[in-house]
Structure 1
Amino acid sequence: MFNLKLSTLHLAIGSALFAGIGFNVHAAEEGVDAVERIQVTGSRIKRTDMEGANPVTTIDAAAISKMSVNNVGDLLQNLTSSAGAAVNTQTNNGGDSSTRFSLRGIGDERTLVLINGRRVVAGGSGANASVDLNTIPTSIVKRVEVLKDGASATYGSDAIAGVVNIITHTDMEGFEVKVNAGQSGESDAKSKGIDFTFGASSDRGNVVFALGYNDQGDAFQGDRSFSEYELRAYPDGSTQQGGSSAPPWAHVDGAPGSANNPEAPNADTNVTRGPEFGSWRDYSGATDAFNYNPVNYLQTPSSRKYANVFANYLLGEFGFLGEVNSFAEASYVQTNGDRLIAPEPLAPLAFFQTAAPYSPDNYYNRTQGPKDADGNSYTLNDWRRRMLETGGRANFRDYKTFRTVVGFNGVFDNGWDWEISYNYGQSDSVERAEGYFNLDRVAEAVGPTGWLDENGALITDANGNPLVEANGSQMVCLNADGAVIDGCVPLNIFGQPGTDSEISPDMLQYISGAYNTTELGQNRQEVLSAVVSGDLFDLPAGAVGFAAGYEKRKESGYYKPDTLILGGITTAGSAVSTKGGYDVEEVFGEVIIPIFDEAPMAHMLEVNAAFRYSDYDTFGSNTSGKIGIKWMPVESLLVRATVSDAFRAPTIDDLVGGSAIGFPEASDPCDADTYSNPADYQAVRNSPNWANCVSTGVPQSGYSSGGVEQIPSNTGGAVNWGGSVVLEPETADVLTLGFVYTPEFFENFSMSVDYWEIQLTNALSTVGTQSTLDGCFNNGDYCDRIDRFKSDSAIPGNIKTVDDYAVNVGGIDTSGVDFDLRYRFESSFGDWRLGLDGTYLLEYDKHLASQTIDHVGRFEGDHDGHFAKLKTNFTIGWSLDDFDATLTTRYIDSVVEVEQGWWTAPFERTVESNVVVDLQGNYAVTDHLTVTLGVDNLFDQEPPFVYSAFGANTDVSTYDIVGRYMYMRAQVRF
């Protein structure tokens, strides 16, 4: 069952003398009543101490109150164990107003999120795979426990990288108000919020109410020097301003016969009038590309309203059940978030694979378009125009999440604890979009035109043919038969924005209408759970503890686009509805066996084991297990180890997610525009790999895309493979080894060092567009997933789409070391706290068919994001009387990126390391009032350039991109 390089069980046990799993010292510092039994994340057994056999990082409410964050997602993304490419509200194009957490960088869907030890419904646009952490405000959090270990035996599916358990305030008494506000040094990204919490208790129970509102303002890429322009990097270290091949002026086919390559007669040299709107000339990416960065959000605006209730009530004695307590939790969160990206690049054929030829019998083409050698207008098959007149493409999201838990617990007559609970969660999504176009109407508006006379009759010549150029009362669109298309307004792409010749409101109205796409979605979760725990019997070293239980869970969800998106006739993309669900029944058990107590070289030694059997109605059964060791040779040294296998079941989206089209950035190795030197492309055409290009439909003579950087890609569930792919659960073997040392000779110092290793196999994932293209070119893998325009097309060889649906593909091998050092000391001028925690990444190999992609110390846009070798947080804390201050230095090591755009051959460059300093201070003005002032990114450190990242010339998932941010918070409590 366990096949890790270091992880056979006997090796884990034998190695316990030298290594084990550490715990986060914060947890040990909290202190626990010696007789109180508590449940620690990673175990179902209640214990009298906080330390189990698992590495757990704990962040308490006191630490959270010193930060600028207002939701759990932003809090977690600052941990050094966070990696990869999890989205947040800095993610504009490609984001969804949510914040996710990817522990170890193996994907947010592989980190299980709990609230008070129970599952949380997924959030987002519908049929999602992970929790939107924006829906959990920090004001209700008592502490956050992050288990950095596989925990499927304890919690079931998804707990491969670990578990985030948010413990809420359920026993507060009194009334509390928190008011916060902040803004960046550029006077944008403003935030404000207010939270109310009220708690009351009696001798039979308690209740806590929490209400709040938070608002986050926007910032634009054009307001930061690093993101003002799209930048392209070159091997010599220079950069060039880039942009899109769809500018706010016409970029169209050149005249037939103008091709530079006589072997490709359908190709021609594209022409434009450029920003100067002079004579027609050859298009140049160096001078004519459109800079779309300034109008994109750098930070997306959002607002959140929430209400929570937590209650307990002692019902009384009920026979053998003992004293029975009832409990309930209820929460409601409404999140509104926006996205704004540059105005639509309307290029029907090249960008949207839809034929919309601009007719030579269109008035605007006839009078303003380019001419062939004989001075005649001609059909423009590939035409491109940035629709600057719309103001941009905007998305407006409205997410509502409701969750409730009800249950009973107590203690049997024999002293065993029991609990039964029902957990229901539902998230609903409505998303509207503006600034997109109906491609069918676009095709009509660029077709043939005619004129109506004053009586509404079509003006024709002597042969009855419509006159394209006439002095009529109204210009109209005509179909192929010469009939008038009712309501159609001909489209002029040749004018200049901001002048009388720009695209008119009537033109925009017709091709967009009152056209706003609307997409609906839902996630729903139901969990019925019963668990019993206690002591089975006594051994010389102590009691044998156990826990056992049953859980039945139902997950369901849907995503429903409107009819225009379903029909694939909108520039907003195409998508198919998703609807489905699954049921699972599970039984689980856990035992802790004390072996030695107060023995020589064994101040304490215990072993714990857990198992879970899961029966899914989608794929069948799965069994997972875990064994852990906790050993203290002396009181000052704790050595721990765990070996476990974990799994993740296919989600609704994995299984039946409807096909949707996206546009990730990628570079086609078969495209002449991928190479700046024609000799390099000639070498590719002469290589054996060229046969792989030809097999997908590339002409033998090659092709040029004209600078298409975003490749249309079909994504969705395995159902889209047409039954040829059946998904199975992914599995992982997880090992943790480490120690915690609190030396007696060095008072108030502690350190923990933890080695972790995950071997994930049969991964549920997608290959990725870039990996598909590279795999085909280099190895002949995935070539059948690439669909190109045929030889009789106007753009032969160009990619229509790449299929990138869910599959079980390869796996991930990753390992590293976490460390945590803490020291406290007193001085004549206050008390001091020093802390250093970090993660050092040793290995991260992603396996895809015949490819193995090394991620350590690298950033590769299509290969899962950012994986620095070293990340650290160094903290200095100081307190004197009623004042407390904290200085935190966050360090992210340098990485290597592969820059591969169509403007240059692929090359590697170093992304510099990043250091950000945060400063915070709070002062207890009175017993009831505390004021906090803070500055994140004190020295206004700009993020390093990551040119291959998608958006803002940097990695928005990893770095602080807003800049210096100042905030204040006032807390009043009675």
Structure 2
Amino acid sequence: MVNIITKASQTGLRASAQFGTFRQGDGHTQDYDISYGLKHGGTTLVAGFSYVKQNKVSTADRKESQFPNPFQTSCTDPIGGCSSASVNGRFLFNPGNPTLPAGGALTVRNPPLTSRGVYDPTGVGGDYRTFTNADRFNFSPYNYYLTPSERIGGFVSLKQEVASNVNLRVKAVYNRRNSQNQAAFLPLFVGPDAGNGTLLDTVSIDATNPYNPFGITLSAGGNGQPATYSYVARRLVEAGQRTYTQRVDTWSVTTTLDGNFDLFGRKFYWDANAVFGLNDARQIFTGNVNAAKVQRALGPLAQCTDDCVPLNLFGGLGSITPAMLNYISFVEKDKSSQTLYDYTANITGDLFKLPAGNVGIAVGYEHRIQRGSFTPDPLIQAGLGADIPAQAASGKYNSDEVYGELRVPLLKDVPVFHMLEADGAVRHASYSTSGSSTTFTGTGLWKPAEDLLLRASYAEGFRAPGLGELFGAQSRADAPINDPCTNVAGARWQASETVRNNCIANGVPASGSYQEPQGGQIGTLTGGNRSLKPETSRTWLFGGVFSPHWVRDSGFASQLSLEVNYYDIKVKGAIAAINPQVTLSRCAELGDPSACANVIRTPSGIISRVIGLLQNIGSIRTKGVDLTLTYRSPQTGVGAFGFTLNGNYLAKYTESFPTADGAATISYRGTTRGFPDQSYPKFKGTGVLSWSLGEFDTSFTGRYIHHVTELNGDTVHELKERFYGDVQLVYTPGFLDKRFAFTLGVINVFNTKPPACYTCTGPNYDPTTYDVPGQFGYARISFKM
């Protein structure tokens, strides 16, 4: 969505144009805005247009993201991470089959093979050899740091005086986003241990398939018969990279009547609002395959008739022909939409006057209706894609809320009470999906002296789950996490008998034959949950602002203030998904039934998926201190100076979630985690130094992030502190009547790189906390009439 700042009032023309790029020569950004406003009599009209184009930043163009793990230089590095779905294929067989190597994995020796190869069970001769880590596929360079997009938007705002004390306001906003994401070539996994959760897990490769060199049917088993192979994994490079093209249209129209009236000698203000919003999204996905056609193309040759083309998964890179791809591939088309109807009415004013001031009141009512739907491609709904099935989903809810606020000034201009005020609010909300709740808020303000304000507040909160949280369709995401049940050197399986027993109970073979095959990428099932209950919260806030007038009177500063706030927030029934690594660990280490029930394994022990649907996880508790220091100097012969510091000290951040034997609590303070990526530094701060002289304004912004730790398996890794610097220079020439402003700036002027993160789902760093690697420079010109 374009971030359009609509304006209710403007006279004349305003416009700006900006171009920016990374020092590496990518990520070009163009940003254009224009608006025009006029006033005539009781009519005010403003209209504007915005256009933004963001070019891509590829992971292939940054050293930090060229492999699945930080500092990795090859798929043969011991850290692993590269995919077993290789360009030449990986063919994994089950132990005990007399004609195939027991538990062995093969790949093509000299691709491409366009017909039956020469099979040698030893893997020494013939057209196949033993699969090694050097054959794994490095998928990392095929993703984006920044997704290419084009965004277009416009708005119109009209204000019309209907009467001397009544106004009609109408605002319409439209946004269009065109964007395209990409991923590496499709990893096609077929076989009983593929873990897709679709028809592909049941595919047998018939002996009559003209490209099956093994002389037997590679059977997926079933009906009491054992499977003869585990899976075949082939990277479909011939099909090109997977692309996800989105077109999202968003409209909103707001109509407001507002005015004022006199009652009992006092003036009251009122407004009535109606909002209609619509979001319509379309996505086209290229690079997917039809599982039913894959099954037919690999099955008995006699059944591959009409337009069917036998599929060659055993010939290596280049052996899958355009005719084969045309038969098995399809263009996936998904769509979603959301609508909003929102009606509000408010009245504010003063009821009566006390010795310390007027008693103010505000009351209001809101009625909201929201609807949403998601319609995946029919083939996806039928479970015939290469991903897990996604079903059509839709839902709606309506809510009614009434609220009232009261402000009572208690004391004023008396000793020790320069000002004392109490504010209170109550809100009753009723949701068609989540029931009703009444919440209260209270605030006390006390100024013992003119320069010092102290405040304390208590607030209750109520948040009903949204449409996506309730009705969102399930989808699969691959998380860079490790299976503690894998039997490799240094793994928990080898170190702990308890872990071995719990893993065996979860479906891992007792023989110890299981080794995690897919390089640390485990499928996780995410999505909405219609059983969700509302979140509730309570917040305590204590703070104060000190702004000494004697500093201003002395001429030392035109502004000096210090604000400090302590907060304590607890959310009950928090809506979130449990981290899949936590789920795996609790199942393996503790045998927690609720965790193990969410770990689904194939008959060979391979994780098919970890279920991580949204749920009311328990509670979130956070405590901390916010600080803001502001200084502005008076005008001097060398200009005016300014300094602002905003800092946050995180004293506590914990999440609690239910377990079979009660509840467990995890502290995230001072840590980082993946899936979803999020860091919780103990301290974050932003400081701005500014200097203005005549027609020039300059500023330097520093951003500091304290170090955090990451738990990667049994290893604790530290993400060291980072300091970012941004500079900006603005020139507003007087000879152009200061109608033009010319701006130059650099973001991340010190070229600070994000700290490496092993468990983050982003390209080896946490994009929610740190900047995209590289210096970004920009130039902007703006004009106002």
Aligned runs of 1:346-361 on 2, under 5 Å? 346-349=188-191, 350-353=194-197, 354-361=201-208
User: Is the 1:172–1:200 Cα contact (8 Å) retained in structure 2?
Assistant: yes
Aligned runs of 1:182-581 on 2, under 5 Å? 182-231=20-69, 240=79, 242-254=81-93, 256-257=95-96, 268-273=103-108, 280-285=128-133, 287-317=134-164, 323-349=165-191, 350-353=194-197, 354-366=201-213, 380-414=229-263, 415-448=267-300, 478=301, 482-497=302-317, 501-512=318-329, 515-581=330-396
Q: Does 1:716 align with 2:527?
A: yes
- List runs of 5+ in structure 2 lacking aligned partners: 113-125, 219-226, 552-556
Cα 1:863/1:293, change in 2 over 3 Å: closer
Q: Does 1:961 align with 2:772?
A: yes
User: Is the 2:304–2:310 Cα contact (8 Å) retained in structure 1?
Assistant: no
Structure 2 SS opposite 1:565: helix
Structure 1 SS opposite 2:584: helix
Q: 1:635 pairs with 450, 461, 474, which one?
A: 450
- Partners of 1:643 and 1:949 lie apart in 2 by 36
Cα 1:665/1:607, change in 2 over 3 Å: same
Residue 614 of structure 1 and its aligned partner are, at CA, apart by: 1.0
Residue 863 of structure 1 and its aligned partner are, at CA, apart by: 6.4
Aligned runs of 1:813-832 on 2, under 5 Å? 813-825=621-633, 826-832=635-641
Match of 1:730 in 2: 535
Q: Does 1:782 align with 2:630?
A: no
Structure 2 SS opposite 1:868: coil
Match of 1:597 in 2: 412
Aligned runs of 1:629-778 on 2, under 5 Å? 629-672=444-487, 675-677=488-490, 680-684=492-496, 686-687=497-498, 689-702=499-512, 703-719=514-530, 726-746=531-551, 747=557, 748-778=559-589
Aligned runs of 1:918-933 on 2, under 5 Å? 918-925=726-733, 926=736, 927-933=738-744
Structure 2 SS opposite 1:653: helix
Q: Deviations over 1:685-735 (max 9, x none)?
A: x22x4443233322223422323533333333334xxxxxx4321101111
User: Is the 1:360–1:379 Cα contact (8 Å) retained in structure 2?
Assistant: no
Structure 1 SS opposite 2:385: coil
Residue 814 of structure 1 and its aligned partner are, at CA, apart by: 0.6
Amino acid at match of 1:410: G
- Partners of 2:18 and 2:770 lie apart in 1 by 23
User: Is the 2:185–2:239 Cα contact (8 Å) retained in structure 1?
Assistant: yes
Structure 2 SS opposite 1:435: strand
Structure 1 SS opposite 2:391: coil
Aligned runs of 1:940-955 on 2, under 5 Å? 940-955=751-766
- Partners of 2:566 and 2:101 lie apart in 1 by 59
- Partners of 2:69 and 2:470 lie apart in 1 by 39
User: Is the 1:578–1:653 Cα contact (8 Å) retained in structure 2?
Assistant: no
Aligned runs of 1:79-158 on 2, under 5 Å? 134-137=1-4, 140=5
Match of 1:147 in 2: none
User: Is the 1:717–1:806 Cα contact (8 Å) retained in structure 2?
Assistant: yes
Cα 1:197/1:505, change in 2 over 3 Å: same
Residue 370 of structure 1 and its aligned partner are, at CA, apart by: 13
Residue 778 of structure 1 and its aligned partner are, at CA, apart by: 3.0
Match of 1:870 in 2: 683
- Relative to the length of structure 2, the TM-score reads 0.89
Q: Does 1:181 align with 2:19?
A: yes
- Partners of 2:746 and 2:78 lie apart in 1 by 32
User: Is the 2:574–2:617 Cα contact (8 Å) retained in structure 1?
Assistant: yes
- Partners of 2:486 and 2:140 lie apart in 1 by 25
- Partners of 1:312 and 1:266 lie apart in 2 by 79
Cα 1:368/1:209, change in 2 over 3 Å: farther
Cα 1:700/1:255, change in 2 over 3 Å: closer
- List runs of 5+ in structure 1 lacking aligned partners: 1-133, 141-167, 260-264, 318-322, 372-377, 449-477, 720-725, 791-795, 901-905
- Partners of 1:341 and 1:379 lie apart in 2 by 32
- Relative to the length of structure 1, the TM-score reads 0.72
Q: Deviations over 1:103-150 (max 9, x none)?
A: xxxxxxxxxxxxxxxxxxxxxxxxxxxxxxx4423xx2xxxxxxxxxx
User: Is the 2:81–2:521 Cα contact (8 Å) retained in structure 1?
Assistant: no
Amino acid at match of 1:777: A
- Partners of 1:627 and 1:315 lie apart in 2 by 38
Amino acid at match of 2:190: P
User: Is the 1:659–1:715 Cα contact (8 Å) retained in structure 2?
Assistant: yes
Residue 603 of structure 1 and its aligned partner are, at CA, apart by: 1.1
Cα 1:519/1:483, change in 2 over 3 Å: closer
- Partners of 2:228 and 2:343 lie apart in 1 by 64
Residue 279 of structure 1 and its aligned partner are, at CA, apart by: 5.5
- For these two proteins, the number of residue pairs brought into alignment is 734
Q: Deviations over 1:338-382 (max 9, x none)?
A: 1111111111232424222333432222289999xxxxxx96541
User: Is the 2:110–2:127 Cα contact (8 Å) retained in structure 1?
Assistant: no
Match of 2:693 in 1: 880
Could you say which structure has the greater relative contact order, defined with CA pairs below 8 angstroms and 6 or more residues apart? 1
- Partners of 1:437 and 1:380 lie apart in 2 by 22
User: Is the 2:375–2:391 Cα contact (8 Å) retained in structure 1?
Assistant: yes
User: Is the 1:575–1:658 Cα contact (8 Å) retained in structure 2?
Assistant: yes
Q: Deviations over 1:546-570 (max 9, x none)?
A: 0011111111111111111101111
- Partners of 1:267 and 1:801 lie apart in 2 by 26
Residue 860 of structure 1 and its aligned partner are, at CA, apart by: 1.4
Amino acid at match of 1:562: D
Residue 584 of structure 1 and its aligned partner are, at CA, apart by: 0.9
Match of 2:118 in 1: none
Amino acid at match of 1:737: F
- Partners of 2:303 and 2:755 lie apart in 1 by 58
- Partners of 2:110 and 2:479 lie apart in 1 by 28
- Partners of 1:331 and 1:833 lie apart in 2 by 37
- Partners of 2:244 and 2:89 lie apart in 1 by 26
Cα 1:798/1:494, change in 2 over 3 Å: same
- Between the aligned residues of both structures, percent identity stands at 31
Residue 631 of structure 1 and its aligned partner are, at CA, apart by: 1.4
- Partners of 2:68 and 2:597 lie apart in 1 by 33
- Partners of 1:275 and 1:251 lie apart in 2 by 14
Match of 1:170 in 2: 8
- Partners of 2:408 and 2:518 lie apart in 1 by 65
Q: Does 1:837 align with 2:643?
A: no
Structure 1 SS opposite 2:504: helix
Cα 1:300/1:864, change in 2 over 3 Å: closer
Structure 2 SS opposite 1:245: coil
